[in-house]
Chains A and B, each alone.
Chain A
């Protein structure tokens, strides 16, 4: 018998309204949900004036998602060959029992490190760190997530420089810099609103993007660089700021180490060299650097673009360095260190990282080779985190002690350096979410056990042995803490019934722990109990929180470092990073050229791009969203299209040395010539049963990229998605496309 209650509200025959944190994407907007007879009928703007604008059309489509006719409702067990997509329905208890038995067999045969997990906290929300808790008690360090190449890695690398991860002080900033990032009304909506408000106050903006994006059109300065040259550009900025003494000399003198070394490194990047690398006028680069440095409060918001480059660690560190030397760290209008909310236990506290032995931690994939966001750096930061923030283990944006996904999939596929033979994927369409999709497929075909926890059947779930039906935000109680990025706590209320046997990841991990014999370490029997436990320091229960507030917001405190120092080995901002040096890497940031275009592959391709109707690989099965973008499109410049015979709306084949995909063509003046923009995560759910894995290999950008060491960022092992060589040519549509994709509906 499983231990937990499904934790669903009583059957409801009336209209109810509740407040939720939308999880259709990762930004976490606060919305209001209405249900009738227990079914979601409307998701709309919050009625609190501070929160009302934070909603997009994905959020208002949530009823279509939550009530979709093909939503998974009961556990499924594979009956055909792996990937054949044939299933039998089984009970939840049977699924948990069999999964526990088969996982135990893998652990007994290969060791606990042979168990790997990939997840997306944005999609599952309610895990409360119990996945890591389960793994730590079992002895496996091999947990990874999409945040390894999107935001989580930024958090981990930022900590190497100043011991925390910042968020812009948007309400007070006078200048912001967007490195390829393009917040729009319906993508990263709260950030878009913050930026619009800042502009309305008179803030200037600098946009760095190979494309004239929506944000670039509004920018004070647009630097239309060659894709993937951000680190060189930022080194040029550092040189201008140092040469022209635009830095905060007092802050640098009192709170930074390694300034002279940084200056020497920046001297290697005179503007003429930077202009040549980036393909942008040198004087424009200097003007942008001055605009940023001279603003009375300036911010560089997080960007996914530098999370996915061959010199990602340097690019991220350069943003940290610019914030520091210009005096914008934890300053009004600059970038805040929110710290932790003292009233809410962190997920890391529940994860029990001291329960897994140091020897097992050292087996984590990436620990020895690309350690920047693994346990290895987290271990080195422990005393400093404790000194400044009061906790040794702090998991910011879930990204601060992860396994490297490329190494995990290699181990799953080839047993190198040791086999991983059981793989759980939760709220994460893993097959399409990391580079080298062909290797991920080989990896999954080589598993003894795969479990997927999902709300819809995905190509990844089709490869599983068991598919567990997940819940959605309207069906669960939760308090969202933004994974320690901020100290805000936000209410999420269950207002609908989860259908049939659908349930939370909390329930899954808790019941699995009981089935495997360590349920005594999972004492909470409902989501409300675990939330009460986390809220205990506040003196409130979940019900009391719900009755009192929509959000808990801590009053801002700036320049806290003056009393605590920074959580680094030196206690200061490490412009020259002692941890990277100790690990054998260059302690200073650098530009590393990506593989250059050639006669065979003349374009610079950038992929991993988000489209408004979709979050990552999701929502292609939602009618009202899919019809806004029915098919994937390459963006190409008119001159390139003319030369290669591409026509608007026609199909084209994009090839790299590693794979090919097909999409339609969109000819755009906004593109920098010689560049191709590729949207992320395309597959065709409606073709399930008619194309292999519902078209997972036809248009997915993960097919185009590899993750061999020559194209990985040295420190993190992150692949290069922003400017790799490719070629494009006209073609016909793939076989089996639906009328909606073809535009003949």
Chain B
């Protein structure tokens, strides 16, 4: 990091600043206009959709009994 020049700082800040101004568009609930366009662009670039393995890992079986207090003496 000691090697980053002032010019490099400024260029990186310009780039991330531009990206940062897009974030509110993606995180709004509007789906038309600029917000809608930005959402469509983001959806096309990874990492957009959750991967299949994650879907499997997130699932829970329906037939697992809940853990409850055992009646006294059981």
* A residues at B contact (CB < 8 Å): 44-45, 48-53, 55-57, 59-61, 64, 68-70, 169, 171-172, 185-186, 193, 197, 245-249, 293-298, 326-328, 331-334, 547-553, 555-559, 620-624, 626-627, 685-690, 738, 740
Contact = CB atoms under 8 A, between A and B. Distances in A.
Contact of A689 (B16, B47, B69): B69
A295 B2 CA distance: 9
Contact of B60 (A55, A57, A553): A57
Given A327-B1, A549-B24, A52 B67 contact: no
B68 A53 contact: no
Nearest to B53: A185
A57 B69 CA distance: 24
Given A48-B27, A52-B48, A56-B58, A690 B2 contact: no
Nearest to B49: A52
A249 B58 CA distance: 48
Given A185-B57, A326-B2, A70 B17 contact: no
Given A332-B9, A559-B9, A624-B60, A686 B69 contact: yes
A60 B67 contact: no
A55 B68 CA distance: 26
Contacts of B58: 44-45, 55-57, 59-60
Given A331-B4, A690-B72, 6 more contacts: A52-B48, A53-B54, A61-B60, A248-B1, A296-B4, A555-B21
Contacts of B24: 549, 552-553, 555
Contacts of B65: 623
Contacts of B48: 49, 52
Contacts of B27: 48, 50-51, 549-553
Contacts of A197: 47
Given A298-B1, A549-B24, A549-B27, A685 B64 contact: no
B9 to A, nearest CB: 7
B1 A331 contact: yes
A555 B17 CA distance: 7
Given A246-B2, A248-B2, A556 B20 contact: yes
A742 to B, nearest CB: 13
A738 B70 contact: yes
Contacts of B28: 548-550
A686 B68 contact: yes
Nearest to A172: B16
A56 B50 CA distance: 11
Contact of A172 (B12, B42, B47): B12
Interface residues of B, number: 41
Which 7 A-B pairs have CB atoms at the shortest separation, nearest pair first?
Answer: A332-B12, A624-B60, A551-B27, A556-B20, A49-B48, A623-B64, A688-B69
Given A334-B1, A558-B13, A49 B66 contact: no
A293 B68 CA distance: 52
Contacts of B19: 171
Nearest to B24: A553
A621 B13 contact: no
Contact of B68 (A70, A246, A690): A70
B33 interface: no
Nearest to A736: B70
A506 to B, nearest CB: 25
B54 to A, nearest CB: 7
Residue from B8, B54, B72 with most neighbouring chain A CB atoms (10 Å) = B54
29 contacts: A44-B58, A45-B58, A49-B42, A52-B49, A53-B47, A57-B60, A59-B58, A60-B60, A61-B60, A64-B66, A70-B68, A185-B57, A297-B1, A326-B1, A326-B2, A331-B4, A332-B9, A547-B29, A550-B29, A551-B27, A553-B24, A555-B17, A555-B20, A621-B66, A623-B64, A623-B65, A624-B64, A688-B69, A689-B69
B1 A293 contact: yes
Interface in B15-71: 16-17, 19-21, 23-24, 26-30, 39, 42-43, 47-50, 54, 57-61, 64-70
B3 interface: yes
Per DSSP, chain A at the interface is loop
A369 B72 CA distance: 46
A556 B16 CA distance: 7
Residue from A334, A552, A556 with most neighbouring chain B CB atoms (10 Å) = A556
Contacts of B8: 296
Contact of A49 (B21, B39, B54, B70): B39
B70 A686 contact: yes
Nearest to A558: B13
A296 B64 contact: no
Contacts of B70: 686-690, 738
Contacts of A44: 58
Contact of A332 (B13, B50, B66): B13
Contacts of A550: 27-29
A12 B19 CA distance: 41
Contacts of A193: 47
B2 A332 contact: no
A57 B57 contact: yes
A177 to B, nearest CB: 13
Nearest to B57: A57
Contacts of A45: 50, 58
B40 to A, nearest CB: 10
A241 to B, nearest CB: 9
A623 B42 contact: no
Nearest to B2: A248
A689 B67 contact: no
Contacts of B21: 555
Nearest to B39: A49
A50 B66 contact: no
A247 B2 contact: yes
Contact of A294 (B3, B47, B64): B3
Contacts of A334: 1
B31 to A, nearest CB: 11
Contact of B61 (A293, A296, A549, A624): A624
A686 B65 CA distance: 12
A69 B66 contact: yes
Contacts of A49: 26, 39, 42-43, 48-49
Contacts of B61: 624
Given A298-B1, A327-B2, A686 B67 contact: yes
A294 B2 CA distance: 7
A690 B39 CA distance: 55
B70 to A, nearest CB: 6
Contacts of A294: 1-3
Contacts of A686: 67-70
Given A49-B39, A331-B9, A620 B67 contact: yes
Contacts of B47: 53, 193, 197
A248 B30 CA distance: 44
A333 B12 contact: yes
A245 B27 CA distance: 43
A52 B12 contact: no
Given A61-B60, A70-B68, A685-B69, A50 B1 contact: no
Nearest to A54: B50
Contacts of A52: 48-50
Given A49-B26, A50-B27, A556-B17, A69 B68 contact: yes
